Amino acid sequence: MTEENFIPKPYTNLIDSGSFTWASPSNIALVKYWGKKEHQIPENPSISFTLNNCKTTTTVSFSKKEINTGFSFEVFLDGEQKEDFKPKIEIFFKRVEVYLPFLNAYHFKIETSNTFPHSSGIASSASGMSALALCLMSIEKELSTDVSEQDFIKKASFLSRLGSGSACRSLEGDLVVWGTHDEIKGSSDLFGVKYPYDVHQNFKNYQDTILLVDKGEKQVSSTVGHNLMHGHPFAQKRFKQANSNLSQMVSILKNGDLDQFIALVESEALTLHAMMMTSMPYFILMKPNTLEIINKIWNYRKQKGSKVCFTLDAGANVHVLYPQNERASVLEFIKNELVAYCQNGQYICDVIGLGANKL
């Protein structure tokens, strides 16, 4: 499949106005992607758990313009107009215009809200861009009789990727792969695919408690970080490692080995941050409390024989991952020992989810 497959046939229906609302979750990568080629193509494949509670709800209202004067839209976050969001959406619209030719024909009002802090290391761009892409696909489905349910999700994921790479992993669940990998049927660089194989019961209803170490905006955007992989001295080794780790993850998801899962997931998280620390310019997104939490988790796991582990996105916050059968004990551990390292004692209890919903 190529990009040309996502260019629609001429629309058959006429619509003057309307509105669609979608809620789309964030996701947390187990095998990370860091570094991308032109057109938002990943340098290596990745796999993520889809979250359930950390999500963005977006309403797109549209009305026909009398004159085609280019893109026309306004953006609101939690009811407040956000001019600073417009450049990113303008870039997104330019990238997807050939695939959504109706974009110039309407004025759009984009209203969005998150259940978690914006730009704090939880992937708000993933949930936000996927929710927006789904709303736009709902419009296209009204304009065309030629969009099947399967095509709808695939194209929405394809469009999401052009807004934010990891957004293409947020539409379905509970595990999604993005990036071509020899051992995963149907995998593609162009869109995310629901993990196609059986998953061991150990990973069902997996828990993710997100410790909000720093709710402020990241000092370096993910876009800048990805670009620093160009010419990075360890880049090619890293891309090869990620492919190998994804092969291992396929085996782990089948056999349910939680010790192997822990080792791989934590290594991936630390490798991601190692890439940041060894780029030029270099940067550190972990905070002192991030390291305190990691050490506390390691000590708890050793003392209790627990299967709790951590992972990190490109930020200071810690995702504490653990099986459902340890929920009560791990939450007690978090309240007693880890909350002290969270900003204002805040954390989010989440669980692996099944993807986006039309509201």
Using one digit for the tens of pLDDT, what is the confidence trace for 324-345? 999 999 999 999 999 999 999 9
**3-class DSSP state for residue 156?**
helix
Cα–Cα distance between 264 and 46 in angstroms, integer? 13
- Give the pair of three-digit tokens for residue 264: 């791989």
Q: Residue ranges of the domains in the chain? A: 3-197, 202-351
CATH topology of domain 3-197: Ribosomal Protein S5; domain 2 (3.30.230)
Q: Per-residue pLDDT tens for 220-248?
A: 777 888 999 999 999 999 999 999 999 99
Which residue numbers in the chain have pLDDT < 50?
Answer: 119
Which of 184, 101, 168 has its CA nearest to residue 129?
A: 168
Inter-residue contact 333 to 310 (CB < 8 Å)? no
Query: For residue 217, what pLDDT is reported?
Result: 66
Taking the chain, what is the end-to-end CA distance rounded to the nearest angstrom? 30
Question: How many Cβ atoms are within 10 Å of 188's Cβ, its own excluded?
Answer: 20
- Give the pair of three-digit tokens for residue 89: 């959406």
Cα–Cα distance between 20 and 150 in angstroms, integer? 19
CA angle in degrees (0–180, nearest 5) for 135-114-98: 30
Cα–Cα distance between 276 and 273 in angstroms, integer? 5
CATH number of 202-351: 3.30.70.890
Q: Per-residue pLDDT tens for 30-63?
A: 999 999 999 999 999 999 999 999 999 999 999 9
Predicted TM-score (pTM) of the model is 0.95
- Give the pair of three-digit tokens for residue 340: 């002290």
Strands 192-194 and 175-178: antiparallel
What's 197's DSSP letter? S
